[in-house]
Amino acid sequence: MNRGRRNLKQAASEQDFTLEECQSIAQVVSLRGSNQIEIMDAKGENSLALFPAKFRESMWIRRGSFVVIDHTGKEKAQESGSKVTSIVCKVLFFEQIRLLQKSPEWPEIFRDAKPVPADESSQIPMAKQDGEGEIGSSDESDDGMPPLEANTNRLRPFGVQCDAETDSGSDSDS
């Protein structure tokens, strides 16, 4: 792993940080492609933000994720007619969101929003996250790994075979 990516992951994993004057927390509404995302800021306004290329291979975001945006040139961008008004400077992970929700820096509009893990490696099993209790007594077999998700890209279940394959096998016997 090169030094830039290692430093980026280390900076993302730090738990406590403070927002600067020109930074704010926003929620991802949709992914537009071409490193552009639609965000909703603390005022409830939707705008476009640039997701820098340095995050492209190391961090993933999806709808509902929280990010820290830098909006220093927002007025200048709006005057020039640009639709992209801010830049993502930090992707918030699940643990960071939980800590920020308890602080006064967290916007009131996001108080009831459930945090969505920004990366698969930061996902916590739902039973431990909600505190509902134990699902099974075999916690040793989990090894701290997140639960497997179903692959939604498959059209058929694994156990189903096509009838054409079984008919072609019987034709070759005759």
H, E, C per residue of the chain: CCHHHHHHHHHHHCCCCCCCCCEEEEEEEEEEECCEEEEECCCCCEEEEECCHHHCCCCCCCCCCEEEEECCCHHHHHHHCCCEEEEEEEECCHHHHHHHHCCCCCCHHHCCCCCCCCCHHHCCCHHHHHCCCCCCCCCCCCCCCCCCCCCCCCCCCCCCCCHHHHHHHHHHHC
Kindly list the structural domains of the chain, giving each domain's residue range(s) and its CATH number in brackets, ordered by start.
Answer: 3-12+31-122 (2.40.50.140)
pLDDT for residue 148? 76
**Closest to 107 measured CA to CA, from 170, 28, 56, 43:** 43
Quick one: what percent of the chain has pLDDT higher than 90? 21
Token reading at 92: 């918030």
Determine how many CB atoms are found less than 10 A away from the CB of residue 145: 10
pLDDT of 124 strictly over 70: no
Contact 12, 27 (CB under 8 A): no
- Which segment of 9-13, 37-41, 111-115, 166-170 scores lowest on mean pLDDT? 166-170
The pTM assigned to this predicted structure is 0.61
Residue 140 binned pLDDT confidence (cut-offs 50, 70, 90): low
Residue 126 binned pLDDT confidence (cut-offs 50, 70, 90): very low
Average pLDDT over residues 116-128: 44
pLDDT for residue 49? 94
Residue 128 binned pLDDT confidence (cut-offs 50, 70, 90): very low
- Which segment of 91-95, 105-109, 133-137 scores lowest on mean pLDDT? 133-137
* Between 173 and 56, residue with greater pLDDT: 56
- Which segment of 24-33, 79-88, 160-169 scores lowest on mean pLDDT? 160-169
What are the phi and psi torsion angles at 78 (to 5°)?
-70, -35
